[in-house]
Amino acid sequence: MLRRFVPVLVLAFVVGSLFRLGNVLGMPVLRMFGTQGIVVIGLMLAWNIKRLQIEDGLRRLDESLKALPSRVKVQPLTGAGKMPLWLVESEGRRILLGGSDIAQSMGKRRARSALERHAASLLKAAESHGLTRDGRELTPALVLLRRRASESDQIRAGSFPRPVVLVNPEGVDRLVSGG
């Protein structure tokens, strides 16, 4: 984790030096570059925090998947997007789990449209893996890694007959056991 923040600390030192040199030498251009450096520091910190939140969500999801009973088969799948996919099979039920990195701070309307896009890509992945062609029931589910979902959150995507279930990483066991 420290390796993420060392470049930020070095850049902060350089920015401070630019401001100091700008004042000592009377060169406003150095203060301008220092101000731009502050913007870069903010962007780097925002990116680092996002990555930490995603990694924490994936860690919690991995713990939930490992805590499932031994009768539940969990198979990682390759997906087209940047988020991983899992096929969970238990007692004749199949659940396709996909991750979503939508932030809690995103507004409801924007979050809804982003979740619809993520759900559509999840269903496209299901089709590409042949999970919708064999006639067996498939429950698609998006695991929200950076946003909280309520118990009954669902979203419709395309012409798929079942809604995509929205679940927290800790709620995967309830989804697998009860549906």
Domain ranges of the chain: 2-54, 68-178
pLDDT at residue number 136:
78
Q: Determine the average pLDDT of the residues in 75-84.
A: 78
Could you read off the pLDDT of 1-42 as tens digits, one per residue? 678 889 999 999 999 999 999 999 999 999 999 999 999 999
pLDDT of 77 higher than 90 = no
Query: pLDDT of 121-173, one tens digit each?
Result: 888 888 888 877 777 788 889 999 998 888 778 888 777 778 888 999 998 88
How much is the pLDDT for 124?
A: 86
Got the DSSP string for 34-74? HHHHHHHHHHHHHHHHHHHHHHHHHHHHHHHHHTS-TTSEE
